[in-house]
Structure 1
């Protein structure tokens, strides 16, 4: 029993594991000479599938926790150490997992990308989880202080405080949160309505901090979203093996390329011709390096399968292209109100969603204050992002209504592609 407790990453995990070390918490539990396994019902629809390779020990659990071992593995081992789990034949998933671990341990040379020491990798992940938790706890305290003090005079101390917090989040290995803090800093002093925008940014940061503290209570898909927003990555191999796969003819709505001093990011937006599903292909390249070739030109179909990354709002995906790309007709679109309603739906699933593709039908470019907007037949309009040059859009439209695909965020719409009859024009 003491040996099991000694494996725990922290005291909180010991306490949580002890709470799960009861027979009524587990279904399909069993043990063999090599492993112990079982299913523990959490807050989601599906129970968490937990296994322990006794030869390591090594742990496998479908829960979203980044601690190794997690509370489910600790509870299972405590129950086993107390002699309360019966001997049984290994189920297929346990036998396959343990066999694969045994096979890897016998390899004289490891393959590229293979983890040399899975136990060490688990320990590194646990140390990172502790750093993330400590950093977010500090951030939570700072946010509570702002609620008590109010935002009056905040612009005078904003740069130093938010810069310090962003750096602290980088040290805590929570790069996603660091980026959110930087976005909040960029809002300060920008226009007359900046206090309201800042409050919105801080509220989203507070929400991610609060969600992290309740990871074990969240549905698995939402927990995956929270971890992704914090900055945990998902291995490509896991996406290809376990991600939801959707086959369709994928229309390439457009692409956005954002270069900076260190990294060039390209976002490619796809929409399924049959399913209507949205897909986002992200590509990265170091500054000065070329990006991978595009899967198609905007306005073309890419027949193939998308493997989606886990999350409450599956968007990012990997594309397996199975057939040559083909021309596509002009896509159907929405009115401005319908398009914005689809964005609101996305926020209901993922409140941290920053971007959303919109296809607007029968819109015209028109002046809007100091900038431009796309206005539909009902007179509703969407502002374009500040500084976007509308000349090419105006030339295609020539005063007539057109279909436009763009990327929407809170700053406005960034047009990517428009259609002149059935011919796609890259903007």
Structure 2
């Protein structure tokens, strides 16, 4: 199998790696190129005396390189895969170093299966309960402080809040981090950005955005004080939004959901010193939407994941929460997409109803994935001299599109024809992530710095 150029570039950890990988995608730079099934390899001259040895398994996708880069995949791995995408490498007998790497991967996979099959170690329930209570006490104290802070904001009014410096918001966010409520801290830390943002198409008015965000924070804080009164799945969703981790023991008993999962898009964001990657999937049979989140650092790269435009044939396990969304990969394998389509699309009215249902269960939700089928693109009326604003619609209504540097590419691909769209809806507009048009599947690049759509299937 081979990945497309778009799928490979979507694996790059950042824009610099993407550009550097393209610079390495020149066959004359490589020697000893070959492949055995889905595994490809080659050697490339680096800054050292010996060439770097690079190997990749396109079925993972996974890769390894002897270069000192701490990025994953490195520019050499990206370049090697791009060389194969341009012209598939010839089959050959794998060198010893390639065979050793492949064997090591198989051994680690077998060891992981063995560990998973081993009986769980006995848990010190008293110590576990003590740790749990200590965290509950810290969170409760942080919620008390947040409540006072929110009351003071409301007493002074939002106009006064908009004049506060960044340190005002950051101090409260830091207190929530200390109180082990990182989910609330992230929301508070995002508030200055809402204040500084100007009017944007498909977004709440700047004067309303701050009030909406504070309202969601207040609703989540109130839910946190009455978890016992919520249904178990609702309580689990609230705990996840607060930042409570889901333990391995909890995930071990979650049921598998097996399907042919269409991988629609990746999104990558920098959160403090972490790189957060979301893989968005839709079940071709079930129509279920899943978000697989992974975090990486400079010293601990993101794990391999199926590329946008592939299908993951296997099982996912959803985290507890209502409605379910976040999931983890279980057993399965990535491969070419069965069809360049967006499964489970519906009308604009159905998308609005779906978002309403989500808010009924979790009113602190900031955005939710929607799938639209057979929509058309149109321009929204606006004041003279303003930047053009666009929307997608059908016979049941329309939804504005969030302002984005990649919208011209979307407009060019749509070309006035009906298309299917996948994106995130926040109650005001849709941020597109993928679309299917005229038998092709396109995805927004994982890094927002690329002002173009990528054809992935």
Would you say same fold, with TM above 0.5? yes
Q: What is the DSSP-based 3-state SS (H/G/I as helix, E as strand, rest coil) of the residue aligned with 1:385?
A: coil
Cα shift readout 1:310-359 (whole Å, capped 9, x = no counterpart): 11211111122335535233235223232222222222222222232222
Partner of 1:233: 245
Are 2:183 and 2:242, in contact at CA under 8 Å, matched by a contact in 1?
yes
Pairwise CA RMSD: 2.9
- Where relative contact order (Cα < 8 A, 6+ residues apart) is larger, the structure is 2
Are 1:306 and 1:317, in contact at CA under 8 Å, matched by a contact in 2?
yes
**1:387 equivalent in alignment to 2:399:** no
Partner of 1:258: 269
Q: What is the DSSP-based 3-state SS (H/G/I as helix, E as strand, rest coil) of the residue aligned with 2:190?
A: helix
311, 317, 322: which one pairs with 2:327? 317
User: C-alpha distance in 2, partners of 1:183/1:115?
Assistant: 41
Q: What is the DSSP-based 3-state SS (H/G/I as helix, E as strand, rest coil) of the residue aligned with 2:262?
A: strand
User: C-alpha distance in 2, partners of 1:363/1:196?
Assistant: 29
Q: What is the DSSP-based 3-state SS (H/G/I as helix, E as strand, rest coil) of the residue aligned with 1:201?
A: helix
Query: Offset of 1:244 from its aligned partner?
Result: 3.6
Query: Offset of 1:197 from its aligned partner?
Result: 2.3
User: C-alpha distance in 1, partners of 2:290/2:217?
Assistant: 26
**1:340 equivalent in alignment to 2:352:** yes
Query: Offset of 1:209 from its aligned partner?
Result: 1.7
Are 2:420 and 2:435, in contact at CA under 8 Å, matched by a contact in 1?
yes
Q: What is the DSSP-based 3-state SS (H/G/I as helix, E as strand, rest coil) of the residue aligned with 2:346?
A: coil
- Note closer, same or farther for the CA distance 1:317–1:260 as it changes in structure 2 (3 Å cut): closer
Query: Offset of 1:302 from its aligned partner?
Result: 2.2
Between the two proteins, the alignment pairs up a number of residues equal to 314
Cα shift readout 1:206-250 (whole Å, capped 9, x = no counterpart): 1122222212222211211121111110023421x2224322222
403, 406, 411: which one pairs with 2:423? 406
Q: What is the DSSP-based 3-state SS (H/G/I as helix, E as strand, rest coil) of the residue aligned with 1:305?
A: strand
What TM-score results when the alignment is normalised by the length of structure 1? 0.65
404, 411, 414: which one pairs with 1:397? 414
- Note closer, same or farther for the CA distance 1:288–1:213 as it changes in structure 2 (3 Å cut): same
Q: Which runs of 5+ in 2 are unaligned?
A: 1-117, 200-204, 444-452
Partner of 2:292: 281
Cα shift readout 1:378-413 (whole Å, capped 9, x = no counterpart): 394333332332233233222322222223335742
Of residues 272-281 and 412-421 in structure 1, the stretch that sits farther from structure 2 once superposed is: 412-421
Q: What is the DSSP-based 3-state SS (H/G/I as helix, E as strand, rest coil) of the residue aligned with 1:373?
A: strand
Query: Offset of 1:372 from its aligned partner?
Result: 4.2
Of residues 371-380 and 223-232 in structure 1, the stretch that sits farther from structure 2 once superposed is: 371-380
Cα shift readout 1:277-326 (whole Å, capped 9, x = no counterpart): 2211112111486432322432x432222211111211111122335535
Cα shift readout 1:102-138 (whole Å, capped 9, x = no counterpart): xxxxxxxxx9x97996644443332222111111011
Query: Offset of 1:421 from its aligned partner?
Result: 2.7
Partner of 2:151: 144
Are 2:347 and 2:396, in contact at CA under 8 Å, matched by a contact in 1?
no
Q: Which runs of 5+ in 1 are unaligned?
A: 1-110
Query: Offset of 1:252 from its aligned partner?
Result: 2.0
- Note closer, same or farther for the CA distance 1:118–1:363 as it changes in structure 2 (3 Å cut): same
Are 1:257 and 1:264, in contact at CA under 8 Å, matched by a contact in 2?
yes
User: C-alpha distance in 1, partners of 2:397/2:134?
Assistant: 51
Partner of 2:438: 421
User: C-alpha distance in 2, partners of 1:213/1:377?
Assistant: 42
- Note closer, same or farther for the CA distance 1:401–1:226 as it changes in structure 2 (3 Å cut): same
Are 1:371 and 1:386, in contact at CA under 8 Å, matched by a contact in 2?
no
- Note closer, same or farther for the CA distance 1:138–1:305 as it changes in structure 2 (3 Å cut): same
What TM-score results when the alignment is normalised by the length of structure 2? 0.61
Are 2:418 and 2:437, in contact at CA under 8 Å, matched by a contact in 1?
no
Partner of 2:363: 351
